[in-house]
Amino acid sequence: MAKLVFEMNQSIDGYVDHDRMSPEPLFGHWVKRTQELSATVYGRTMYGLMRYWDEDQEGWGDEHRAFAEAWRKLPKWVVSRSLTEVGPNAVLVRDNVEAVIAGLKAEREGEITVAGPVLAHSLADSGLIDEYRLYTHPVVLGQGRPFFAGPRPPLRLAAHERIVGDVVRLTYVPA
C-alpha cells in the first residue's frame, strides 16, 4: 500500500507561492524526490503550473532537464471538475475523488504526493493523507495561499531535517 504525502515549499509564515518564492535552492532535492515517487495527485491549479515541464525550454540546465524527464515519466492523477483533458501520462479525476485516491493508495507501492493545498485539505478531511512535509524557507510572504487550506488537522511531529542552506523540512503525521 502506498503512503499519501502532502509536501510543498512554504514561507516561514505558512504560505505557498511559486511566483514569489523560488524552488531553486532545492532543485536537486526535488529532482531526486520526483524520481523516487510512485505517482502524484494534482489539483487543477498546481497541475496547470506544472505543465510547464511537458516541453523542453530554451536555456534549461542539466537539473531542469532531469526534473522534466522525471516529471514526464511520473504517473499523474489530476482532480478537476473544470478541465476537460489532461496531458501525457495523466488521468483526469472528476468524480468520486476520495474513492479514486483510496484505490490508488491500495494498488500502488511507495509514495504518492499530493500537490495543492485545497486538494490536500479535502483529502485530509477524508483521512487519506498519511504524512505532511513542510519545506520551510526563511522568507516572509505575508499573503498568498496557506499551506493548510482549512483548519490544521491534529498533527504530531515525526521528523525534522535541514535540507539545503536554511531550508528545513518538518514531517508531521496525523495525531
Range 56-77 average pLDDT: 96
Query: pTM score, two decimals?
Result: 0.93
CA angle (21, 32, 89) in 5-degree steps: 90
Collapse the DSSP code of 59 into the 3-class scheme (helix H, G, I; strand E, B; otherwise coil) and give the result. coil
Contact 89, 74 (CB under 8 A): yes
Range 96-119 average pLDDT: 96
Cell of 175: 495525531
Q: What is the pLDDT of residue 169?
A: 97
Collapse the DSSP code of 46 into the 3-class scheme (helix H, G, I; strand E, B; otherwise coil) and give the result. helix
Range 5-18 average pLDDT: 93
d(CA 44, CA 130): 22
Q: What is the pLDDT of residue 22?
A: 72
Of the candidates 111, 137, 118, 114, the residue with the CA atom closest to the CA atom of residue 11: 137
pLDDT in tens, 125-172: 999 999 999 999 999 999 999 999 998 899 999 999 999 999 999 999
Dihedrals φ, ψ of 78, to 5°? -115, 120
Domains by residue range for the chain, with CATH: 3-174 (3.40.430.10)
Q: What is the pLDDT of residue 19?
A: 76
